Structure 1
Amino acid sequence: MANIKWVIDPTHSEIQFKVKHLMITTVTGYFKKFDLQVETRTDDFSTASKIEFTADISSIDTNNEQRDTHLKSADFFDASNFDQIRFVGTQYEIDVDEAILHGSLTIKGVTKPITLHIEQGGMVVDPYGQTKAGFTVTGKISRKEFGLTWNAVTEAGNVVVSDDIKIHAEIQLVKQTVAVNA
């Protein structure tokens, strides 16, 4: 039986992260260049046999060029040596109201297991005859576990950047008309 291939619709998807700054406000960043490929046996995503996501570090955007340059440096992502973040899904479990996606996240050459929460928004056929599926993806990671350890301390002893990074993504997948052989 052939697998169904799904690809991301980048114009209707966004990948963002949130981090506390000085422990009093939250800064949001985005990856502008990313890719996601999914293969399922049916239109039910619990039958997924492949879930692979990448984001280009060079596309990081926090709405501040100086901060973006610092994030790309060796202090954080080290984009000159590690140009992508990679996630490979290993298990997609559906519960009543949401799904859980288990997988391996690789940042800066360090791979760790993570769990993401998935809210499936539904599946529709758009006005052009394309079948699309929508998802909201959330999770949290420790940046220090992935070698992103830079920090500074204020005069009062507060850290500049929190360890916890919140992940939030709005994903729209497009079903491909040609299935791939399993």
Structure 2
Amino acid sequence: MTKSTWAIDPTHSEIGFKVKHMMFTNVSGKFDQFDALIENEDDAFETSKIDFTAQVNSVNTGNADRDNHLRSADFFDVDNFATLTFKSTGVQKLNEGAFQITGDLTIKDVTKSITLETEYSGQMKDPWGNTKIGLSVNGKINRKDFGLTWNAALETGGVLVGEDIKLVAEIQFVKQ
């Protein structure tokens, strides 16, 4: 068996999320600074070990006031918890190109196991001779499970920020 290492290509990757605002529309955001590495055997995706880190201070929703609030102790508390991490514990092939990645997500000081639905594109060479793979990743977490509990009640009933966070990522990796 030959061990392969794949590094994330940040210029062709986006790590994002969506959350309900006022209970009826989604607000999207992303992390601008992140890193990830995959190690696998004989380029077989189902043998992959995946390590991902995002710099929480790089959260970007396109609104400076909202981003500063997300960085505060009400949410991510970046002064005490600079990163969020994901470390895979298993990759299961469902069918051709479809996988489930299970792993430990850590936000603030809370670690929980989550499962991510993943579409694997296979390998392709770019025009410069680099071997790449692509992943489309989707999942869902409850933000309160990770200590992200701030909210505000609405006069009409309900809350300002939804509990369920949709995770969405489009990622390219380059074989090292």
Return the TM-score normalized by structure 2.
0.97
The aligned residue for residue 170 of structure 2 is 170
How far the C-alpha of 1:2 sits from its partner, in A, is 4.5
The aligned residue for residue 179 of structure 1 is none
The aligned residue for residue 79 of structure 2 is 80
Say which SS state the counterpart of residue 162 (structure 1) adopts: strand
What are the Cα deviations for residues 125-173 of structure 1, in whole angstroms up to 9, with x where unaligned? 1111100000100000000000000000011122000000000000100
Q: Distance between the aligned counterparts of 1:161 and 1:58, measured in 2? A: 20
The aligned residue for residue 152 of structure 2 is 152
Instruction: State the AA in 2 paired with 1:88.
Output: K
- Whether 2:132 is the aligned partner of 1:132: answer yes
Instruction: State the AA in 2 paired with 1:53.
Output: F
Instruction: State the AA in 2 paired with 1:155.
Output: E
How far the C-alpha of 1:24 sits from its partner, in A, is 1.2
How far the C-alpha of 1:121 sits from its partner, in A, is 1.9
The aligned residue for residue 180 of structure 1 is none
Q: For 1:82-121, what aligned pairs fall within 5 Å after superposition?
A: 82-97=81-96, 98-121=98-121
Return the TM-score normalized by structure 1.
0.94
Percent identical pairs in the alignment equals 54
Q: Distance between the aligned counterparts of 1:114 and 1:171, measured in 2? A: 18
Say which SS state the counterpart of residue 95 (structure 1) adopts: strand
Instruction: State the AA in 1 paired with 2:119.
Output: E
Stretches of structure 2 lacking an aligned partner (at least 5 in a row): none
Q: Distance between the aligned counterparts of 2:133 and 2:36, measured in 1? A: 13
What are the Cα deviations for residues 49-82 of structure 1, in whole angstroms up to 9, with x where unaligned? x210000011000000000000000000000000
Instruction: State the AA in 2 paired with 1:158.
Output: G
Say which SS state the counterpart of residue 46 (structure 1) adopts: helix
Size of the aligned set, in residue pairs, is 175
